[in-house]
């Protein structure tokens, strides 16, 4: 239901004006501006990844504006010496109307990040973009080793994609997936998605143990899965710092602090921007606890 709602233009235009919806979304994002995001980054005490919300832009001018925005973010982060990285969607950079311009923007961001000793992540979107995103990322990684890609454990194809990315040497952020995809290409049951998440994480840790040039990020709030994967890492003789735990701002903050205190690398993902509605609906679809929180905003 929430995934369907995330794609509704009618709901998008109306929900963003409703006060209790705006209150509820504050759980998951510190605000709509980059200043809000950077203030939260300074206060958290762990590394962060920033992403400006918005996808499927309508004009080259919008994409140019997004690219300029991220360039300024990278410059500000460097000037303030913050442990902050950025993550971008290719449709934010104009992929829907010009692959050439999209790649130009992406390479400019990767170059600016490299000049500051920083990192650039490429988000994965719906399966309509999987092949082209992988192709663009492989070309990018050939020039910029300071780049990584998000992959989704609910897709059947991801095991093969991960194998090819490991052979390339990549940063890989593993997430479960938050788009509505059919049973012909994606697991539908949570248990299947979780099982594949663990299997993919273990394969990435095996690559780390083998000395492959792979940076591993685990994007999940499921502490049970994190602890299960951590046990595999320990059994392989890998340190706690052999992978990163990546959780969204506002979700399981107590666990983020606990895991960081135990010596794990924890990185908080902070989203910001005005185009938060579809992203917020996907967050509600991910965990029942998120829905309960939103309902409390209605009755409170």
The CATH number of the domain where 115 resides is what? 3.20.20.220
Distance in angstroms (rounded) separating the CA atoms of residues 108 and 68: 10
Same domain? For 217 and 82 the reply is yes
Question: Does residue 268 have an active-site annotation?
Answer: no
Write out pLDDT tens, residues 219-276.
999 999 999 999 999 999 999 999 999 999 988 899 999 999 999 999 999 988 866 5
Q: Which of 52, 112, 141, 173 is the catalytic position?
A: 173
Question: Does residue 123 have an active-site annotation?
Answer: yes
Write out pLDDT tens, residues 126-155.
999 999 999 999 999 999 999 999 999 999
- The number of distinct structural domains making up the chain is 2
Model pTM score: 0.85
Same domain? For 4 and 63 the reply is no
Query: Do residues 74 and 121 touch, judged by C-beta distance below 8 A?
Result: no
Q: Which of 52, 123, 141, 267 is the catalytic position?
A: 123
| Structural domain of 89 | 34-275
Rounded alpha-carbon distances, angstroms, from residue 115 to 74, 101, 149? 10, 21, 20
Same domain? For 153 and 14 the reply is no
- On the question of pLDDT at 82 being above 70, the answer is yes
Same domain? For 42 and 18 the reply is no
Same domain? For 67 and 24 the reply is no
Same domain? For 287 and 208 the reply is no
Question: Two tokens at 45?
Answer: 């005490």
Write out pLDDT tens, residues 88-125.
999 999 999 999 999 999 999 999 999 999 999 999 99
> Which of 180, 184, 106, 183 has its CA nearest to residue 149?
106
């Amino acid at each position: 239901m929430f995934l369907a709602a995330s794609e509704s233009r009618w709901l998008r235009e109306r929900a963003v004006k409703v006060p209790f919806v705006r209150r509820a979304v504050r759980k998951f994002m510190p605000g709509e501006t980059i200043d809000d995001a950077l203030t939260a980054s300074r206060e958290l005490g762990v590394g962060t990844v920033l992403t400006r919300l918005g996808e499927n832009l309508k004009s080259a001018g919008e994409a140019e504006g997004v690219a300029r925005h991220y360039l300024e973010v990278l410059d500000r982060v460097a000037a303030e010496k913050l442990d902050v990285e950025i993550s971008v969607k290719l449709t934010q950079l104009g992929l829907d109307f010009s692959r050439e311009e999209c790649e130009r923007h992406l390479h400019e961001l990767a170059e600016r990040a490299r000049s500051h000793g920083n990192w650039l992540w490429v988000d994965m979107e719906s399966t309509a973009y999987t092949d082209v995103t992988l192709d663009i990322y492989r070309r990018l990684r050939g020039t910029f080793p300071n780049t990584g890609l998000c992959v989704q454990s609910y897709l059947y194809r991801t095991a093969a994609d991960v194998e090819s990315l490991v052979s390339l040497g990549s940063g890989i952020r593993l997430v479960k997936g938050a788009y509505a995809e059919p049973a012909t290409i994606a697991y539908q049951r949570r248990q299947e998605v979780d099982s594949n998440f663990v299997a993919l994480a273990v394969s990435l840790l095996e690559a780390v143990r083998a000395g492959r040039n792979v940076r591993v990020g685990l994007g999940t709030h499921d502490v049970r899965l994190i602890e299960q994967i951590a046990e595999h890492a320990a059994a392989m003789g890998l340190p706690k710092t052999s992978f990163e735990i990546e959780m969204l701002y506002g979700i399981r903050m107590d666990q983020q602090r606990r895991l960081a205190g135990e010596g794990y690398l924890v990185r908080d993902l902070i989203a910001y921007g005005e185009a938060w509605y579809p992203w917020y609906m996907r967050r509600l679809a991910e965990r029942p606890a998120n829905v309960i929180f939103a309902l409390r905003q209605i009755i409170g």
